[in-house]
Amino acid sequence: MSSLRSFRGISLAILTMALSPLTMLPASSRAAAQEIIRVAYAHQVHDAALLAVEKELGSKYKLEFIKFLRYADVEVAVSRGDVQVASLGYSNAVVSSLREPSPSYKFVVGMSRGAINLVCNKDVKVERWDDLKGKKFGVLVGGNAEIFFDDALSQHGISRRDIQTVTFTAPGPPLLQALQNRDIECTAVYEPFAATSVAKGLTYYPPGIDLAENSFRGVNGAVAVNAEFLKTHSEFVGDVVNVIVKATEYYNANKERIQMDFVKRLEFSPDVIDIASKHVILDSSLYFASVISASQAMSRLGFIRSVPNPDKLAAYYDYSFLTEVTGKSADACGRAQ
């Protein structure tokens, strides 16, 4: 109940500010209010806290939310400054740090862990990890879903040689059709795509199988800000981090509100969003040590040739806003985890 009052308090404060004349705002706020700030999001349930930024700050700043389907495309956009703020995978910074001489974007607050789940056809019995051996899986290649899947299997004594795989390049109708046709028996996929197949009555979530039980705490996504934009828009970024921290607490405690508040942006039916919301971990901590572990898993599994220098990877993290909002140290905000 206290988190609900706190979150409603943000709305009241922002509404009061919105009703004030623009000239009453500080000069930096007036400048920010007059420019369009573009925000990249994905229509995935674990972007709920970022979508709350549009709801809570849309009266103070001119925000344009742009939907992307792949983190790879988001990374290009936020690196070039085509968008200023973005929902981005932690693993993207691993790859960027191996390629860029200096960071073109920085993470300022976390958003999610888990949110990539295993679902199996209803007539396929899976009760424990060993039951996955010999099954035919649809695998989304080249991204977080494959990293989660491969590392979780490895952590539970299963290798890709123990299973059969059919590769897919993106979630969506082809993957669902393959499940319906019994071309595959199970798949590891982002929410709410996993929930879509469950809502259709095709699949179920095998009990006891959690792909976030991997070597890197299941860290998934965070909020990235273009590095040049960050230098001149500290007030806006601070406002964003403040909203995301409080929205994360609120929606973790009130997950039924996700489908009520964001059904338009998420573009899935309310029942699908409701199912998916119960299978994601919203987490505003900004994890660094876990991303080092993720980079080691990525190297071990062949996604990257080498593990990035920790100091170079650390340059993609800016804890100043999160520590200011929470009153905690950087280590307590996720740096040491």
* Of 211, 221, 205, 90, the residue nearest 152 (C-alpha): 211
pLDDT at 134: 96
| 212 within a domain of the structure (yes/no) | no
Distances (CA, A) of 247 to 2, 11, 80, 182, 240: 13, 11, 28, 39, 10
pLDDT given at position 172: 79
Does any domain span residue 209?
Answer: no
> Do 108 and 223 belong to one domain?
yes
- Is residue 213 assigned to a domain? no
Same domain, 251 and 265: yes
- Where does a domain end: 172, 204, 236? 204
pLDDT at 12: 39
Task: Answer yes or no: do 129 and 62 share one domain.
Answer: no
What is the per-residue pLDDT across 25-80, written as a single tens digit (0 to 9) for each?
454 454 445 799 999 999 899 999 999 999 999 999 999 999 998 899 999 999 99
Q: Do residue 161 and residue 250 come from a single domain?
A: no
Kindly state whether residue 278 falls inside one of the protein's structural domains. Answer: yes
Look up tokens 């319906």; give the residue: 180
Is a pLDDT exceeding 70 seen at residue 15?
no
Q: Are residues 229 and 315 in the same domain?
A: yes
**Domain range holding 13?**
2-113+219-335
User: Do 107 and 223 fall into the same domain?
Assistant: yes
Asked whether the beta carbons of 45 and 265 are under 8 A apart, the reply is: no
User: Quick check: 41 and 112 in contact, CB under 8 A?
Assistant: no
pLDDT at 274 over 60: yes
Query: 190 pairs with which residues across the strands?
Result: 116
What is the reported pLDDT for 7? Answer: 47
Q: Is residue 77 located within the same domain as residue 19?
A: yes
**Would you state the pLDDT for residue 19?**
37
End-of-domain residue from the set 204, 229, 255: 204
Domain assignment present for 211: no
Is 35 part of any domain?
yes
Is 29 inside a domain boundary? yes
pTM given for the model = 0.86
Specify whether 99 is located in the same domain as 234: yes
Q: Are residues 26 and 73 in the same domain?
A: yes
pLDDT tens digits, residue range 302-329? 899 999 999 999 999 999 999 999 999 9
102 and 122 in a single domain? The answer is: no
pLDDT for res 144 = 86
Q: Any idea what the CATH number is for the domain that residue 147 is in?
A: 3.40.190.10
Q: Tell me: do 269 and 300 sit in the same domain.
A: yes
Residue 67 lies in a domain: yes
Domains of the chain: total: 2
pLDDT of residue 4: 41
Higher pLDDT, 173 or 234: 234
Which residue, 162, 179, 204, sits at the end of a domain? 204
The one-letter amino acid at 303: F
Per-residue confidence band for 161, with pLDDT thresholds at 50, 70 and 90:
very high
The answer to whether the CB of 137 falls within 8 A of the CB of 164 is yes
115 neighbors 205 (Cβ within 8 angstroms)? no
Non-local CB neighbours of 182 within 8 Å, separated by 6+ positions: 121
Percent share of the chain, pLDDT over 70: 90
Co-location of 88 and 179 in the same domain: no
| Predicted confidence (pLDDT) per residue in 220-230, tens digit | 999 999 999 99
User: What span, in angstroms and rounded, lies between the C-alpha atoms of 31 and 283?
Assistant: 31
